[in-house]
Amino acid sequence: MLQGPMGTFFNRVAVWLNEQGIGVKKINFNGGDWFFHRKLDAVDYTGKLRDFPDFLRRFMIEHRIDGVVCFGDCRHYHTAARQVVQGLGLPFFVFEEGYVRPDYITLECGGVNAHSPLPRSPAFYRALPDRPVPKPEPAYPSFKRSAWSSMFYYGAGRLFGALYPHYQHHKKFSIRYEARNWCRAWVRKHLNRHRDAPVMESLLREHDGEYFAVALQVYNDSQVRVHSDYPDVRDFIRAVVASFAAGANPRHQLVFKHHPMDRGQRDYRRLIDSLCEEHGVVGRVHYVHDVHLPTLLRHARGVVTINSTVGLSALYHAKPLKLMGRSLYDMEGLTYQGELAGFWTADHRIDWELWRRFRTYLITQTQLNGAFYGRDFHALHKQAAAAAELPAPLVLRPRTVRLDRPARQATQERQAA
């Protein structure tokens, strides 16, 4: 195990693996990792990032590691690990937030999001049988548990920072920064509740079916940094407003939906107001934070996002969707394949049969019922039963490990045993 979500989730996964007769070793990279996983069989990596691939390769050969598990495949250490692990011919398992929310989390072998090994061919999914998806159990994700896990993680990271002098976090690593953002998010949540209500009432009353919803993402999300060509979410906002002003029907509206986990870090109100002035669309562009997302999507004319999983919710509500980044579900028949300029007036229809089969395959092959900060349901028997009904399900076959001669001999002896 490499880095997991902040909190105790990887401890629970380790217990489950042990129950299946699978031994677990953990690599910690900072004080937060150590604090939450100090009871596991763990080692501390205190070297430099550039030296980590050699360290990991030696570690895996020495301890005869069969596979690696991590959370997110775009963190600095996980990007390096992915190359090492796949170079050895071993499985690289990645947890991620659920593609389908709120009662699922994602687990894939090889990568997640745009790195996912899922087929991108519509023909593949059209050939699948039409099967119902088992209804998930409520996972009850806890905002409070997430917040406390974050505070303890960054607090321990700061307290024991001297023990990990070369650690490079994938985001800003500061308890003061996180505490300020959580407090600011709490204040903004209550302020925006009063701002958003009249905006939504007006949209539903006067512009039902005549507005485009734009789902924004966290400003430092790897989905934006790695899987899109936008240097910043603000560049995405600029491109969307300019395109909407130039190509949309004058009676249509545009609604930007702020990401709830970005509430404390960013606010784009001034930027959007200035862009409306610049492009002559004052009164046609709206900015909301804490509105009911399904309601916003149900009454929208179409949806635009970079590559957020909100796009999957838009497809669920049968709304035309334009993705501006790279995504595992950006394929003909599901998403609009033309340029954004043509999306505003296009008559795009979703292939509902394709969508239903794709969603079934996505859930049975990549989703686990549970939450990182809620209840876990390692219902693999239920997932396996649903997956077995599909042709060519995701199967992990034995692989030949590319090791040096002594390690290869040890591996062969272990496999024979």
In three-state form (DSSP H/G/I as H, E/B as E, the rest C), the secondary structure along 227-253 is: CCCCCCHHHHHHHHHHHHHHHCCCCCE
Residue whose token pair is 């030296």: 51
Exposed/middle/buried for residue 410 (C-beta within 10 Å: 0-12, 13-18, 19+): middle
In the chain, the amino acid numbered 14 is: A
Number of H helices, E strands in the chain: 16, 11
Q: Cβ distance 104 to 369 under 8 Å? A: yes
User: SS3 of 109, please?
Assistant: strand
- Quote the tokens at residue 286: 């709206």
Q: How far apart are CA 370 and CA 140, in angstroms?
A: 8
Which residues, 6+ apart, have CB-to-CB distance to 171 below 8 Å? 220
CA pair distance 246, 323, nearest whole angstrom: 19
Report the b/e string of 182-205 with b at 16+ CB within 10 A. eeebeebeeebeeebeebbeebee
What CA–CA distance (Å, rounded) separates 54 from 46? 13
Give the CA distances from residue 250 to residues 212, 257, 285, 345, 402, in Å, rounded to whole numbers and listed in that order: 12, 21, 11, 11, 61
In sequence order, what E strands does 83-218 have? 92-97, 104-109, 211-215
- Residue 236's alpha-carbon distances to 214, 272, 282, in angstroms, are 10, 11, 19
Give, for 354, the enclosing helix (H) or strand (E). helix 352-366
Whether 131 contacts 360, CB under 8 Å: yes
The tens place of each residue's pLDDT in the chain, 417 residues long, gives 999 999 999 999 999 999 989 999 999 999 999 999 999 999 999 999 999 999 999 999 999 999 999 999 999 999 999 999 999 999 999 999 999 998 999 999 999 999 999 999 999 999 999 888 888 999 998 888 998 998 899 999 999 999 999 999 988 777 777 777 778 877 788 788 788 999 999 999 999 999 999 999 999 899 999 999 999 999 999 999 999 999 999 999 999 999 988 888 889 999 999 999 999 999 999 999 999 999 999 999 999 999 999 999 999 999 999 999 999 999 999 999 999 999 999 999 999 999 999 999 999 999 999 999 998 665 444 444 445 455 444 444 444 444 455 555 655 665 565
- The whole-number pLDDT of residue 253 equals 98
